[in-house]
């Protein structure tokens, strides 16, 4: 695989604990997202232009300053965004080159083609899914995306990764859903077989 695969790096947030993945993590934010969520906290993430393209080697160089913390705590890196799984081939390359005991997590809305999910499954240890809402109308109104794609990818993730490797975040979204919708989404996810759910409220800034 060529080193010309680039990642549109926006920022690296170091020494995170208990926020996104096991142990000490560095959150690596990348640009680009197929969705257009109404309360998106950072519109800049929707554009590729402001990002700095980096190779996997360069990115590993940038984050390895915390190698000792990663190894001591079972932590590693979390790819966020934007949509991290737009860059599934980059994640493959990163895994090939990074220390094998680094944990790799990916934050995702699952709004990507199935092949990206299957590629990521080869190298990502843990998935943190923001499902928005499982009601198709609410989902479409809020994100502009395809609810059926998200549901299909949820099922693939469950079938291939199993529930322990997946945390599904289920938001209460002011003005777009109600607590009853949030509870209904959580119930559907439990019926599917997911066991790690995080119910929370979006705070619009």
Residues that bind ligand SF4 (CB under 6 A): 33, 35-37, 40, 45, 81-83, 109
| Residue placing its CB nearer to ligand SF4 in the complex, 94 or 139 | 139
Q: How many CB atoms lie within 10 A of CB 122?
A: 11
Q: How far is the CB of 177 from ligand SF4 (least distance, A)?
A: 14
User: Which residues touch 75 (CB under 8 Å, ≥6 apart)?
Assistant: 21, 22, 23, 24, 25, 69, 102, 103
| Residue placing its CB nearer to ligand SF4 in the complex, 33 or 91 | 33
Q: How far is the CB of 187 from ligand SF4 (least distance, A)?
A: 23
Question: What single DSSP character describes residue 42?
Answer: -
CA–CA gap between residue 186 and residue 173 (Å, rounded): 14
Q: How far is the CB of 173 from ligand SF4 (least distance, A)?
A: 10
Cβ-in-10-Å burial (0-12, 13-18, 19+) of 42 comes to middle
| Residue placing its CB nearer to ligand SF4 in the complex, 3 or 52 | 52
C-alpha closest to that of 170 among 201, 203, 138? 201
Q: How far is the CB of 38 from ligand SF4 (least distance, A)?
A: 9
Per the CB < 8 A criterion, the answer to whether 66 and 24 are in contact is yes
| Residue placing its CB nearer to ligand SF4 in the complex, 98 or 168 | 168
Question: What single DSSP character describes residue 158?
Answer: H
| Residue placing its CB nearer to ligand SF4 in the complex, 12 or 71 | 12
Q: How far is the CB of 71 from ligand SF4 (least distance, A)?
A: 30
Residue 72 in tokens? 């001591």
């Amino acid at each position: 695989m060529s080193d010309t695969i680039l990642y549109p790096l926006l920022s690296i947030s170091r020494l995170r604990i208990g926020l996104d993945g096991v142990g000490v993590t560095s959150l690596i934010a990348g640009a680009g997202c197929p969705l257009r969520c109404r309360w998106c906290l950072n519109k800049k993430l929707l554009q590729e232009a402001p990002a700095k393209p980096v190779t996997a080697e360069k990115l590993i160089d940038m984050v390895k300053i915390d190698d000792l913390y990663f190894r001591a705590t079972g932590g590693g890196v979390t790819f966020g965004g934007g949509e991290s799984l737009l860059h599934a081939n980059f994640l493959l390359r990163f895994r090939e080159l990074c220390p094998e005991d680094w944990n790799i997590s990916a934050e995702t809305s699952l709004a990507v083609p199935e092949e990206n999910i299957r590629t990521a499954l080869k190298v990502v240890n843990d998935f943190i899914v923001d499902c928005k809402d499982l009601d198709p109308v609410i989902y479409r109104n809020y994100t502009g995306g395809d609810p059926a794609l998200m549901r299909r990818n949820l099922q693939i993730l469950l079938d291939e990764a199993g529930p322990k490797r997946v945390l599904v975040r289920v938001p209460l979204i002011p003005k777009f859903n109600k607590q009853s919708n949030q509870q209904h989404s959580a119930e559907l996810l439990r019926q599917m077989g997911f066991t790690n759910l995080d119910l929370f409220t979006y705070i619009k800034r």
